[in-house]
Every structure is written in structure tokens, then in C-alpha cells.
Amino acid sequence: MIAFLFKRLVWGLLVLIAVAVITFFLSRVVPADPAAFLAGQNASEETVQRIRVEHGLDRPLPEQFATYMIGLAEGDLGESIRTRRSVSTDLKQYLPATLELLIVSFVLYLAVSFSLAVLAARRPGGAVDGAIRLITMIGTGIPVFWLGMTLQFFFFYKLHWLPLGARFPIRETAPPVISGFLLVDSLLAGSLSAFRASLKHLTLPAATIVVNLLAVGTRLSRAALIQEQSRLYVRTARGKGLSPNRILFKHILRNALSPILTATTMQFGYMISWVILVEVIFDWPGIGLYAYQSFQVFDYSPVIALAIVSTAGFVIINLVMDLLYPVIDPRVQSVGS
């Protein structure tokens, strides 16, 4: 077990280093000069040169790379030219917003896809099943940016039900930052109205992400449900007089969960890309918007940082999943064996 964990960790580390190396060199092939951006328009050539030296941009690429990797080993992700702060400081600020959106979306995704699957699995091949399949399929075919804009148009512009973007009502004071998760911070500040407001702001961005993923989740849960329904132990459970709901949740959900989780892990890179788009459309101040804006002015470090953070997230999730499988799915035995 420990050997397995160790192997996994070493591999994860290697992956991270590989990603850091690749993104570093990819980002430096860019023809533009970040010093020119930093110096600003109208700055003289001398000023640009001075800034180039100050930021070590005049040094040869291998040296810049060495400096970067040494910094990375110490947890230093470099400095953002656009925000003029260290990327780690920026990430600390922007990461909770993204995580909150991702977590809420994921929970919503599981809930909705599982409910749809339950409906669909009642009569496989029936009209409801077909309709759900078609709807989720269309959901996946809608470009996420287009969906976001359309939802904004109806729910903000036409109906005035939901806000246009951002995390909290503009004119109001957000709760004091403790965890960075507005839902949690609202509760910690004891304000249910702030909690509701944050939830309202989460609705459209989360819905946009969920609609796009739904087809996979529903399909997998439905398949698992149908398979599990026919299994012996369900019949046994029924025989023991357990209520249908208990059967559904205790047994079937548990068994359906693991393929869904596996599929979602595989979709992680995909989801991160979608999150960038959603953050751009909804002005969601998370790492996606941060990296996107930085990219637009050739600020490399945040973009590399996003790649590293997202890969790290992927590695960690995989690790956790490996450890969790025996817990979630009783059929899988401990990973060590």
C-alpha cells in the first residue's frame, strides 16, 4: 500500500516537472517582449531595456529556465507581469473562486445526471429515456460560450431573475474572507441572505458547465442502474423488505458512482478548459479568467502556473480516487493487493 502510494507520488511529481518544462519552453517561443508590455506604451527603448534587465528577461533561456525551476522547487511560481505580484499570491486569491464553481458544478452534475438516469432507467427504451438522451446530447453539442451568452440573455436581460456575472451583488459588501468560498464565508458571517445571493450568482455559470457534461454522467449512471437493477443482491434486498429508495441509494448509487467518477476524472482537463470559457463569459474572478487575461498581454507565469496547478489537481484527484475506490465500490478490493 505504502509502496503503491510512493510510486504514485513519484510519478505525479515527474508529470508535474514534465508539464512545467513543456509549458515553460512553449511560452518562451512567443515573439513578443513582455518587457515592452511592462514598460508601457510610450516608454523609451532605454526604459524597456532597464526593465528587461530588472526582470532577468535579458538572460539566456537556459539560465531563465534554471531560475524558474529552482523557484518552482521552493513553491515560487514566478511573478505576474500584469498584476505585478507573485503568481502564488494571485493564485491564493483566485483559486477559491474557481474551486467553489467547480465543486458546486460537480455536485450539481452528479445530482442532475443521477436523477435523470433514474428517470431514464425506469423504462429503458421508453419515451422518457429517449427524450433524456436527446436533451443531454444536445447539451453536449452546445458550445459552452454560446450557451453562457444565451443563458445570460434570458435569465438576466429578459427575465431579470439572475445576475449577469461576478460572484456577489455588485453594490453589496461581500462577507469577510475566511475560506475564500463565498458560500462558506456567508454562513460563517451568519448571513443567510448573503448565502442566497452567492448561490444566485453561482447558478448560471454552474448550469453552463453542467449542461455540457450531462450526457456522459447520465449515460453512465443509466447504464450502471440498469445493470445493477438486474443484479441478484437488489432482488435479495427487496426480498428483505428494504424500501425502494434505500435500495436505490445504498446499493445502486454506490455502484454507479465509480464509473461516473472515473469518467469525470478523465474529463478533468476538458472541464478546466470549459471553466476558463465560463469564467470569461461570466466575469468570474477565478484562475481561468486570471490566466486568460494574463495570456492576452504575454504574461507567461500565470499561464504556466495554470497548467501546473491543473495537472497537480489531476494527479491528486487520481490518487484520491485510487484510494477511494474500495470505499465507494465494494466490489473493488484494496489497491495494494
Partner 1 sequence: MKLRNGILGLALGLLMGGVSYSAFADDASTFVYADAGEPSTIDPAKANVNWEFTVTRNIYDRLVDFDLNDPSKLLPALATEWQQDGKAWTFKLRDGVTFHDGTAFDANDVKATLDRLLKIGQGQSYLVDDIASVTVVDPKTVKIETKAPTVFLASNLSRIEMVSDEDIAKHKDDLGQAWFNENANGTGPYEFVSWTRGTQIELKRNDKWWGKFPEKPFDRVLDRFVTDGANRARGLEGGEFDLANFVPLDEALRIGTSSGFHMVEGNNLWAWPAIYLNMDLAPTNNKDFREALVKAFDYNAMVQSFQGKAEVGRGPVPSWFPGSPEKEEAEIKTDLDGAKAALAKSGLANAKMKCSVPAGFPEFRFAATVLQSSAQQLGVTVEIEEQPFVEAITAIKSDKSNCFVLGNANLSPSDATKFFAAHYLKGGFYNSGKFFDQTLQDLVAKLPTISDAAERGKLLKQAADIVVDSHYIIWTARPKTVVPEPDRIGGYRIDPAEYINARFWEMYSK
Partner 2 sequence: MSISTQPARRTIARPKGVLLPLALLVLVILAAFTLLPGLIAPHDPIALAMADRLKPPSLTHIFGTDEGGRDVFSRIVYGTRYSLGVAIAIVFASALFGVIYGAVSGMARQGIDNLMMRIVDLFFGFPALVLALAVAASIGRGLDSVALSLAIIWWPGYARLVRGEVLRLRERPHVEAARALGVSEMTILRRHIIPFVVQEVNVRITTDIGYALVAVTALSFLGLGANSPTPEWGLLIRDSRPYFGSAWWYLVFPGTMIMLTATAFSLIGDALASRRAA
Could you tell me which stretch among 13-21, 119-127, 194-202, 210-218 binds partner 1 (CB under 8 A)?
Answer: 194-202
| Side-chain-facing half-sphere of 178: CA atoms under 13 Å | 10
- CA angle 201–203–208, rounded 5-degree value: 120
The one among 4, 65, 268, 295 contacting partner 1 by CB under 8 A: 295
Contact of residue 273 among partner 2, partner 1, none (CB under 5-8 Å per partner type):
partner 2
Q: Is 175 in the site for partner 1 (CB under 8 A)?
A: yes
Binding site for partner 2 (CB under 8 A): 11, 15, 18-19, 23, 26-27, 29-30, 124-125, 129-130, 133-134, 137-138, 140-146, 149-150, 153, 215-216, 219-220, 222-224, 226-227, 259, 262-263, 265-270, 272-273, 276-277, 280, 291-292, 295, 298, 303, 306-307, 310-311, 313-315, 318
- Count how many Cα atoms sit within 13 Å of the Cα of residue 91 in the half-sphere of its side chain: 19
When CB distances are held under 5 to 8 angstroms depending on the partner's kind, the choice from partner 1, partner 2, none that residue 36 binds is: partner 1
SS3 216: helix
Q: Are 176 and 185 in contact (CB under 8 A)?
A: yes
Beta bridge pairs of residue 86: 79
Between 189 and 327, whose beta carbon lies closer to partner 1? 189
Residue 220: how many other CB atoms lie within 10 Å: 22
Give the single-character DSSP code of 176. P
Give the total residue count for the chain: 337
Long-range contacts of 143-150 (CB under 8 A, 24+ apart): 144/208, 144/209, 144/212, 144/274, 144/277, 144/278, 145/277, 145/280, 145/281, 147/208, 147/211, 147/212, 148/204, 148/205, 148/208, 148/277, 148/278, 148/281, 148/282, 149/281
The owner of cell 479568467 is 289
**Does the protein bind partner 1 through residue 26 (CB under 8 A)?**
no
Which part of the chain contacts partner 1 (CB under 8 A), choosing from 125-133, 182-190, 233-241, 308-316?
A: 182-190
Q: Which does 44 bind (CB under 5 to 8 A by kind): partner 1, partner 2, none?
A: partner 1
Q: How far apart are CA 104 and CA 95, in angstroms?
A: 14
Binding mask 80-99 for partner 1 (x = CB under 8 A): --xxx-----x--xx--x--
**Smallest gap from residue 134 Cβ to partner 1 (A):** 30
Q: Using CB under 8 A, which of the segments 151-159, 225-233, 246-254, 256-264 binds partner 1?
A: 151-159
Give the nearer residue to partner 2 in terms of CB position, either 35 or 197: 35
Q: Does 193 bind partner 1 (CB under 8 A)?
A: yes
Quick one: what does residue 15 bind among partner 2, partner 1, none, with the CB cut-off 5 to 8 Å set by partner type? partner 2
**272 interacts with, out of partner 1, partner 2, none, CB within 5 to 8 A per kind:** partner 2
What is the helix (H) or strand (E) element at residue 83, kind and residue range?
none
